[in-house]
Amino acid sequence: MKLYNIKHLALAFGAALTIASCSDDDNGDMQMEPEMTDFSGTYTQVDHMGRPGINTVLSYDVEGQASVKDAQNVTVPSEMGAMFQAGFEARLEQYHDVYANLLGADPADVNYENNILGLDAATLTGYLAADVLEVAPNLPTTYFNPGTDNDGDGRVLVPDGDEVALTGRLITDDVIDVSLILLFGGEEGDRFSGQDTDGDGTADLPRLTSDGVSLTATVSTDFPFLGTPEN
């Protein structure tokens, strides 16, 4: 019986110390030391994310040679145009040659066509070679907005003078589809969109202007722009 009482007395004493310690914390008597993060060491830049997918699509690595993709990822933006524009343009033309062969056409007859922004191949790949996200303080923020049908011809995806593009990026912008449209869509944005040219119900042209993936999540207009979770 005596041992039993001693055990309970020890437990009660320990509980009292715990309560007293909590009380001291609540009164602000105990100072917590801030946890410091150690940023020492050597770090390596491995990727740019200004324009997702561009490096993947337009860089071409050759086995046994230094990786162009890796080089583009670690190059400062001010040097990207001079280093990668020509290679990007050549790669873009190679894609058109491949599609020409698949269509049974002469590759010389299937070339890049100035896009919906009126940009030729050299100018477009010059923009895309610099993997940065520009900001235009006096224009709407968007990866691409086709504007309106200013000339009344019933077509919006044609340069009418009121397009806005590459001035930033909204949460809802489909940057992959926009990039594909700029690369393969031609003057009206739908040059290679899986058209059925002979009306037999089967696509005769490749679908190159969309990855087929749309925005499925809901987004908020307030930071951090997270919408209601979906079931």
- Tens-place pLDDT, residues 162-212: 777 888 888 888 888 889 999 999 988 888 888 888 889 888 888 888 888
Q: Indicate whether 76 belongs to any domain.
A: yes
Q: What is the mean pLDDT of the chain?
A: 78
40/109 Cα distance (integer angstroms) = 57
Q: Indicate whether 209 belongs to any domain.
A: no
Contact 136, 128 (CB under 8 A): no
Q: Indicate whether 102 belongs to any domain.
A: yes
Domain tally, the chain: 1
Nearest to 116 by CA among 52, 212, 180, 211: 180
Residue type, 79: E
SS3 193: strand
More confident residue, 81 or 139: 81
Q: Which residues in the chain belong to E strands, given as ranges?
A: 144-145, 164-165
8/11 Cα distance (integer angstroms) = 5
Question: 224 preceded by cis ω (within 30°)?
Answer: yes
- pLDDT band per the 50, 70, 90 thresholds, residue 154: low
Q: Indicate whether 151 belongs to any domain.
A: yes
SS3 25: helix
> What is the predicted pLDDT for the residue at 149?
64
Q: Indicate whether 8 belongs to any domain.
A: no
- pLDDT band per the 50, 70, 90 thresholds, residue 113: very high
Return the DSSP state at 224. T
Q: Could you list the residue range(s) of the whole structural domain that residue 141 is in?
A: 54-185
Nearest to 188 by CA among 103, 89, 118: 118
Q: Indicate whether 139 belongs to any domain.
A: yes
Neighbours of 140 (CB within 10 A): 10
Q: Indicate whether 2 belongs to any domain.
A: no
More confident residue, 10 or 180: 180
Q: Indicate whether 127 belongs to any domain.
A: yes
Q: Residue 54: CB partners within 8 Å, gap ≥ 6?
A: 128, 131, 179
pTM of the complete model: 0.70
pLDDT tens digits along 11-57: 444 444 444 445 445 555 666 677 777 778 877 766 676 777 888 88
More confident residue, 213 or 30: 213
